[in-house]
Structure 1
Amino acid sequence: MSSAVAASKTLGQKESSAPSTLPAVCLEAIARHNKPDTVSEKRDRQWIQISASEFIRRVRHIALGLREVGIRAGDRVALISENRPEWSVADLAILSAGAVTVPIYTTQSVDQISFILNDSGARALLISGGRIMKHARKGFATAASLEHIVVFDSESANEVERATTLESIEARGASIEREDNSAFDKLIAQGRPDDLATIIYTSGTTGEPKGVMLTHDNFVSDIHSITNGLPILSSDVSLSVLPLSHIFERTVFYVFCFNGVAVNYAASFELVGEYLREVRPTIMTAVPRLFEKVYHRIIKKGMSAGGLKSRIFARSLAVGQRVAELEDKKQRVPLSLKRYFVSGGAPLSPTLSYSFLGAGIKILQGYGMTETCVVCANRPDDNRVGSIGKPFEGIEVKIAADGEMLVRGPTVMRGYHGHPNATQSVMTDDGWFATGDVGYIDNDGHLFLTDRKKDLFKLSNGKYVAPQLIESLLKQSEFVNQVVVVGASRKFPVALIVPDWEALKHSLRAAGEQVAETHAEISRSPGAIKMVQRDVTAMTANLADYERVRRVALLAEEFTIDSGELTPTLKVKRGVIDQKYGKLIDELYRST
């Protein structure tokens, strides 16, 4: 990529803190905070806490055990597991041994698992067991370089030849440490800040995944930048919801370790509601899809309450908007709104922000990519709803002539593993990374995203449409659960909508409409389609004429990871949806 890039504004450009290796930074911080509940998980209906000393001991023993079985500096070690303490312990142990962590999503296909293991040249695989083992075993059976399979759950080790247990690896390490109690310290001291720490394969909404190479310094720089930018307290409690295989949640875990935050693991998205009530986190990271689900549950509960409760609920939404307006004007906000959640991975609708704010929960929108780590976020005392905030210390952001956001700084990747041409295509000669996201910077320095550059589509009249912007608006409707806007080379945009069935059925009954029994029947009902279309028309009334959604189709089934329509971090795979619903989309245009 040429270095001749026009910029409207550049943000950032401060020196980051002195670098060190990632495990050295995290383990020192864990020891310093010395918490009884460094990490916790729910097992057999009880929360099990792991103390700082136990966490560190396990990291030390696993690292030494991995070295004992032949893992050396620079070796690739794959990691497949749901969120649980062993994921983080194993990750820091791999890094302490000088090896490179290659995380793999539990939801990835057998072919993808095989590809990642072979492309990275993984010598070892650490895996949780159970259903994940059953799913992944065909994938690692074809991995030519794989020599060691280490299973977290001992009872699953017998399912695969040449597998050993994590417990036995720990025992080997413990034996080494008994003979030489300085063995781990000597091992971790060999690491350097510019050593490769991880290869993360982008889940990708299109095409074959590419391995993003990140160094220890990339992560450590981000730890210091985020810590300097956000108020994170050792008294904070968090709930780990997003997959630790994803850069966002993994980086956040390191930041929380550094700041002494108690981390509680949610093994799956389905358990989040239950865990939120039990853990009562003061700080948490999630994607908009999770907040949307909670929001729609609140809407249904609040608006169906009737009478005074319904009016109080409506009032709370208004209060949320008022608080946000006060913040924008730098006026005093109640102390009860001090703690916060952080949203990333996709645009967060302003309605969601205001609604949660009205309930006393501040959601700060942030931004990052696998290739850049975490770049920016709103701050509790500077929360511009609708924006992704300002860059963290040491990270520069500017907007190119075509509107694309460029990022430079110590958190930007080394490159794509085995793909020098792909690396060159996204990096300028002077170190700027082209994000592929289109946006702008306002007069106060807040960054705003419009859409993914590749997701923008051109109508038959030559006008460009940003679908994410429209989708964000439509998600404010009580009837919309999921939505995808399409329209490339057509006369106008249309929307594929998975309804919030309870809200839609409630409104249909209130309007005197007969409600069918199944979702499939309701999705074809003229009354239901007309009701949703009317709401969509109102939601997009203030858009330019060519951006307004003229037709909607209701889908009976949700977009899911298993059906291939969502990535592991719940981003829509537009190409898959275009192909799957191509005939339905054509029908929407034929009906005009």
Structure 2
Amino acid sequence: MIKERFITYVEDSIRKNWEIEALSNYREKGYTYKEIAERIVKLHMAFKEYGIQEGDKIALVGKNSANWCAVYLAVVTYGAVIVPILPDFRTEDLQNIIKHSDSRMIFVDEKIWEQFEKEKIRDLLCAITLEAFEMVMSREENILRIYKDLNEDFSKAYPEFRPEHIQFSSIDNEQMAVLSYTSGTTGFSKGVMVPHRSLAANVRYAQHNMPLEPGDPVVSFLPLAHTFGGAFEFLFPFTYGCHITILTKTPSPQILIQAFKEIKPRLILSVPLVIEKVYKKQLMPVISKPHMKALLKVPGVNKILHKKILDKLTETFGGRFKEVVIGGAAFNADAEKFFRTIGFRFSVGYGMTECGPLISYASWDTTQLGASGRAVDTLEVKIDSEDQQNVVGEIILRGDNVMLGYYKNEAATREVIDEEGWLHTGDLGVIDEAGNIYIKGRSKNMLLGPSGKNIYPEEIESLINNYRYVTEAVVISEDHKLVGLIFPDFEQINNDGITEATLPEALEVIRKDVNNRLPEYMAVTKFRVHPEEFAKTPK
């Protein structure tokens, strides 16, 4: 097992970088490592007074922010378990997760708290807003009193707060640090139990292999409640003494590009869609013109043009980045090939929540076209086939990154982790002689939403399938938009006098009603009639 500890990484970074800026919301005053440490220690004092034990769960529901990050660090370094939940989930789903996770406290955006049905979350000791750290609910009077006295108690305990005061929990690496829910929908959602060793393994690998140095600026725009954004836009750079600027809302391409120009990040994490949009919207209209196509085939001239395109593209991302790491879903093959041709510094990684998330990575100058890097040093990865270099099989793995299992769901855990400790990813691929992993398909059907949020089509399909005129539905992604293919219930349609001409109108009513019951990022843009039953294949 890995000897390094995530909490030790946090302690060391705070001590070393005491006076430099750690976290700031975009275009707002930031917090130094010392100020973040003060917030952490104050919360530790409150947790202790409230009787919070190591292993207790604390929910965190809100948009990305410096305060969100401070709470996350406070909970994990205390030895409690953070339950970060996407704020986009429906209120009912948020409440179900809070209840299922056995959370004892919650830190939450004020607007989200106002929508909660308080009688459904009666097990919570208290609720504190993320915007102003105001306690908006407490089950006992002394809980509120303790919280109000925190600043005074902190000043008494630490008249001169110094780096040597930073000494957090010594909890064992095998204990749970994060309880990450893969979805919001009851019946589909699984609570992934990420242990401390997984956080340590991800941070250690990133420190040794990803191109960041202490003090480097980083822009955080992916959902921090997801392990990809959380690990590599927040935890890794924080443990390295970087300054993390957080975009508190899902940014438009214009705001994102503006932020890159202002902050000039040294490492950029992205989902494929962001990069593909740049390729599709900015580059394709230029390079697909007939005269440009001809010029790009002329030796010498093409090198000059490629250099100009590369310079412009590099400027778009701030001009100072050492590498763009792309993960979360498959990268468009045409875009990847073109970016590789012009020398754009990017790499494609591979991961999953169950590994906290990193499975494989290679630096931009060593990665191979079409590959998703090589296995990290804390994982053993292989292909479940007779010839892993030539015969596609399921990607399976084991090691320090792997989860403890699914919370309160032993059956689901046994489905993916076998008796020898191999985690079955549900992804298909091959591994070449040099260890490069090539993903050939996904037996799991997870889609990635425009802002990096996971979308599980089965959830939407099960909802659509309940409607009167639907026999079966399949949800697919077309041009990064969700489309519902509908095999209609023709018998019911005929009985209700619905004609071929009026069927689209009836289905549109269903689509709008479905979207009203889903988070915005899971909205289906259109329905299309599928005239026959969908083909079935064995699992």
* Smaller-chain TM-score bracket: 0.7 to 0.9
Q: Secondary structure at the match of 1:142?
A: helix
> What is the aligned partner in structure 1 of residue 463 from structure 2?
none
Tell me which of 194, 198, 205 is aligned to 2:174. 194
Structure 1: distance between partners of 2:119 and 2:152: 26
2:259 corresponds to which of 247, 265, 275: 275
Q: Is contact 2:221–2:246 with CA below 8 Å preserved after alignment?
A: yes
CA contact (8 A) 2:219 2:247 kept: yes
Q: Which runs of 5+ in 2 are unaligned?
A: 311-318, 386-391, 451-456, 458-473, 482-507, 535-539
Residues 154 and 454 of structure 1: CA distance in aligned 2, closer, same or farther (over 3 Å): closer
Matching residue's letter, 2:120: T
CA 1:425–1:499 in 2, change beyond 3 Å: closer, same or farther? closer
Question: Which of 528, 531, 535 is matched with 1:586 structurally?
Answer: 531
Equivalent residues of 2:127, 2:137 under 8 A apart: no
8 Å contact 1:317–1:355 — kept in the other structure? no
Cα deviation digits, residues 410-436 of structure 1 (max 9, x gap)? 110111110111111111211110011
Distance change (3 Å), C-alpha of 1:372 and 1:567? farther
Paired position in structure 1 for 2:20: 36
Q: 1:258: Cα distance to partner? A: 2.3
351, 359, 370: which one aligns with 1:368: 351
Q: Evaluate the alpha carbon distance shift between residue 116 and residue 565 of structure 1 in structure 2; reply closer, same or farther with a 3 A threshold.
A: closer
Instruction: Look up the match of 2:132.
Output: 154
Instruction: Give the CA deviation at 1:190.
Output: 4.2
Which residue of 399, 409, 413 corresponds with 1:423?
A: 413
Residue in structure 1 matching 2:214, options 234, 253, 264: 234
1:408 aligns with 2:386: no
Per the alignment, in what secondary structure is the counterpart of residue 123 of structure 1? strand
Structure 1, residues 551-570: CA drift from partner, whole Å, max 9, x if none? xxxxx9xx99x9489989x7
Q: Which moved more, 1:111-120 or 1:257-266?
A: 257-266
From 349, 354, 372, give the equivalent of 1:388.
372
Q: Could you state the TM-score of these two structures normalised by the residue count of structure 1?
A: 0.67
Considering Cα pairs closer than 8 Å and 6+ residues apart, tell me whether 1 or 2 has the greater RCO: 1
| Residue 319 of structure 1: aligned partner | 306
Q: Cα deviation per residue 1:391-411 (whole Å; 9 max; x = unaligned)?
A: 111211101137110011111
Q: In the aligned structure 1, how far is the partner of 2:519 from the partner of 2:276?
A: 17
Aligned-partner Cα distance in 2 for 1:23–1:173? 24
1:349 aligns with 2:332: yes
1:246 maps to 226
Q: How does 1:51-450 map to 2 (within 5 A)?
A: 51-129=32-110, 131-135=111-115, 137-138=116-117, 141-154=119-132, 168=148, 171=151, 174-175=154-155, 177-178=157-158, 188-203=168-183, 207-252=187-232, 253-270=234-251, 271-299=255-283, 302=286, 319=306, 339-356=322-339, 361-373=344-356, 374-401=358-385, 403-450=393-440
SS at match of 2:350: strand
Cα distance, 1:343 vs structure 2? 1.1
Query: Could you report, residue by residue, the CA deviation over 1:139-177 in whole angstroms, capped at 9, with x for unpaired residues?
Result: x54123211101122397669998969984852662563
Separation in 2 of the partners of 1:403 and 1:205?
30
Residues 67-88 of structure 1: CA distance to partner in whole angstroms, max 9, x if unpaired?
2233222211000121111111
For 2:36, give the aligned amino acid. F
Change (3 A) 1:122 1:37: same
% identical aligned pairs = 23
SS in 2 for 1:217: helix
Which of 443-452 and 354-363 deviates more? 354-363
Describe the SS at the equivalent of 2:265. coil
Deviations along 1:84-124, one digit per CA (max 9) or x if unpaired, are 11111111111222211001101011121111111111110
3-state SS of paired residue (1:188): coil
Q: Which residue of 2 aligns with 1:329?
A: none
Distance in 2 separating the partners of 1:453 and 1:381: 30
The 2-side partners of 1:219 and 1:301 are apart by: 42
Matches of 1:153 and 1:165, distance apart in 2 = 20
Contact 1:320 1:357 in 2 (8 A): no
Contact 1:302 1:309 in 2 (8 A): no
Q: Give 1:585's aligned amino acid.
A: H
1:453 is aligned to 2:443: yes
What secondary structure, in the 3-state scheme, does the structure 1 residue paired with 2:530 have? helix
Local SS of the residue matching 1:586: coil
CA separation in 2, counterparts of 1:169 and 1:303?
63
* Alpha-carbon distance in 2 for matches of 1:91, 1:269: 20
- TM-superposed CA distance for 1:273, in Å, is 3.1
Distance 1:261 1:337, change over 3 A: closer
Q: Name stretches of at least 5 consecutive residues in structure 1 with no aligned partner.
A: 1-14, 324-335, 456-466, 476-483, 485-492, 501-555
Give the partner amino acid of 1:28: D
Question: Structure 1 residues 158 and 228, CA, compared in 2 at 3 Å: closer, same or farther?
Answer: closer
- For residues 475-527 of structure 1, the C-alpha deviation after alignment (integer angstroms, 9 at most, x for no partner) is 9xxxxxxxx9xxxxxxxx99874599xxxxxxxxxxxxxxxxxxxxxxxxxxx
Q: C-alpha separation between the residues in 1 aligned to 2:156 and 2:8?
A: 20
In 2, Cα distance between equivalents of 1:495 and 1:70: 47
Name the SS for the 1:430 alignment partner: coil
- The one-character-per-residue Cα deviations of 1:253-309 (angstroms, maximum 9, x if unpaired) are 221122222211011222423322222212121211222233333237746999999
Distance 1:358 1:206 in 2: 45
> Counterpart of 2:47 in structure 1: which amino acid?
L
Q: Distance in 1 between matches of 2:171 and 2:526?
A: 51
Contact 2:49 2:146 in 1 (8 A): no
Whole-Å separation in 1 of the counterparts to 2:91 and 2:21 = 35
Which SS does the other structure have where 2:124 is aligned? coil
Give me the whole-angstrom Cα distance separating, in 1, the residues matched to 2:279 and 2:247.
19
Distance, in Å, in 1 between the alignment partners of 2:519 and 2:421 is 29
Farther off after superposition, 57-66 or 201-210: 201-210
Alignment CA distance shift 1:354-1:262 (3 Å) = farther
2:484 is aligned to: none
Partner Cα separation in structure 2 for residue 95 and residue 499 of structure 1: 35
1:517 maps to none
Cα deviation digits, residues 292-346 of structure 1 (max 9, x gap): 233333237746999999979x9589738999xxxxxxxxxxxx99810111110
RMSD between aligned residues: 4.4
Q: CA deviation at 1:58?
A: 1.7
Counterparts of 2:215 and 2:133, CA distance in 1? 37
Alpha-carbon distance in structure 2 between the residues aligned to 1:406 and 1:205: 27
Offset from partner CA, 1:233-264 (integer Å, 9 cap, x none): 22432111111101111111221122222211
Q: Which residue identity lines up with residue 225 of structure 1 in the other structure?
A: Y
Shift in Å at residue 194 of structure 1? 2.1
Residues 165 and 376 of structure 1: is their aligned pair in 2 closer, same or farther, counting only changes over 3 Å? farther
Q: Is the 8 A contact 1:78 1:102 kept in 2?
A: yes
